Amino acid sequence: MYKFLCSIIIITSLSLSYVHQRVELFEYSYRINDNHKRLCLLIDQNEGLRYNVASLKAPHNLRRELVLNNIELDTPQNWHNIRLASLPAGQAGAESKKKKELTYDNSFRIAAKALINILAPKAEAIAQELNQP
């Protein structure tokens, strides 16, 4: 009798837990479904926003915005381009070598150099016009 009751209880418990598990699984699957729908909706919204960005970046829309804001742009003409004179190749190499050597100087020299750099006037870039208007 005792064994019979125990087995009935065990079987009933197992059955109930199985049913509970299945119910929970279905509940979760409903939630997954809802989340999936929400994800699809967000993806669609993202696509819509990407389209809006592409549309705003489209040349005719940019042009319209420029006109609305009274902004006039033009491509640079020859005299707008200024070429900076570049250092000769050898000197450029020497500069980088010198910079390396500084790292091996003592800290006092580095600090003094930094102070001089701050206080002393710097060399100006040499500008050379490409073409005369």
Partner 1 sequence: MYKKTYKARLIFISAAFITFLSFLFIRLIYVQYIQHSKMAEVAWGQHNVTIELAPKRGPILDRNFKPLTSSLKVDSVYAVAKDVKDKRAVAKRLSEILDKDEQALYERLNRDKQFVWLARKVSPEVARKVQALGINGISLIDETKRFYPGGSLACHVIGFAGMDNVGLEGVELLFNRYLKGSQGEKSIARDAKGRQLPLLVRRHIPPVDGCNLILTIDEVIQYIAEEALEKVYKKYNAKGATAIVMNPENGDILAMANRPNYDLNNFGSSDAITRKNIAVCSYFEPGSVFKIVTASACLEVESSSLENVFYCENGSWYVRGHTLHDHRGHGKLTFREVIEKSSNIGTVKAAMIAGEENLYKYIKLFGFGEDTGIDLPGEIAGVIRPLNKWSKYSITAVPMGHEIATTPIQLACAASVIANRGLLVKPRVVDKITDSHGKTIRAFTPTIKGRVISEEAASKVCEMMEGVILRGTGKRASMPGYRAAGKTGTASKIEPNGRYSKNRYIASFVGFAPVDNPAIVVGVMVDEPHPQYFGGTVAAPVFKEITDATLRYLQIPPEESS
* Interacting residues with partner 1 (CB under 8 A): 25-26, 29-30, 32-33, 36, 44, 47-48, 50-51, 54-55, 57-60, 63, 75-78, 81, 130-131
φ/ψ of 60, rounded to 5, equals -70, -30
| CB 126, min distance to partner 1, A | 18
48 vs 93 by CB, closer to partner 1: 48
| CB 21, min distance to partner 1, A | 12
Return the beta strands (E) in the chain as ranges. Answer: 82-84, 127-129
| CB 41, min distance to partner 1, A | 9
Block residue for tokens 């800290």: 107
Question: Nearest to residue 87, comparing CAs of 73, 101, 98?
Answer: 98
Block residue for tokens 């006092």: 108
Those residues whose C-beta lies under 8 Å from the C-beta of residue 15, and which sit 6 or more positions away, are none
Measured CA to CA, the distance from residue 33 to residue 29 in angstroms comes to 6
37 vs 109 by CB, closer to partner 1: 37
7 vs 81 by CB, closer to partner 1: 81
| CB 125, min distance to partner 1, A | 20
